[in-house]
């Protein structure tokens, strides 16, 4: 994660994509990543398609526990490809 003048971004260039501003993530997902930076690292190592799927799922989360389960899913080997 880079801090550039108050705008936090995470670098996904390892997947041939540009950096996505942290504030463009759903708020709950951004908060979960702030609490679990290892999950953020795993997220940035996903393909763009996998990242988009996590973001799509995060937009439908209705509770903190559900968000925790979603973030925990980043540690599942099948998601990591």
In a domain, 12, yes or no: no
Task: Report how many domains make up the chain.
Answer: 1
In a domain, 7, yes or no: no
In a domain, 11, yes or no: no
Examine the pLDDT at 15 and tell me if it is beyond 70.
Answer: no
In a domain, 4, yes or no: no
Q: Which long-range contacts (CB under 8 A, 24 or more apart) does 66-74 make?
A: 67/28, 67/29, 67/31, 67/32, 68/32, 70/29, 70/32, 71/29, 71/32, 71/33, 71/36, 71/39, 72/39, 74/39, 74/42, 74/43, 74/46
Q: What pLDDT digit, counting tens, does each position of 19-50 carry?
A: 566 778 999 999 999 999 999 999 999 999 99
In a domain, 1, yes or no: no
Examine the pLDDT at 9 and tell me if it is beyond 80.
Answer: no
Examine the pLDDT at 60 and tell me if it is beyond 50.
Answer: yes
| Dihedral angle over CA of 26, 32, 34, 40, nearest 10 | -80
């Amino acid at each position: 994660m880079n801090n550039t003048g108050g705008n936090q971004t995470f670098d996904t260039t390892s997947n041939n994509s540009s950096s996505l501003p942290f504030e463009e993530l759903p708020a709950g997902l951004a908060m979960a990543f702030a609490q679990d930076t290892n999950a953020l690292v795993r997220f940035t190592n996903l393909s763009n398609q996998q990242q988009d799927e996590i973001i799509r799922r995060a937009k439908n989360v209705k509770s903190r526990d559900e968000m925790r389960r979603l973030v925990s899913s980043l540690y599942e080997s099948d998601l990591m490809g």
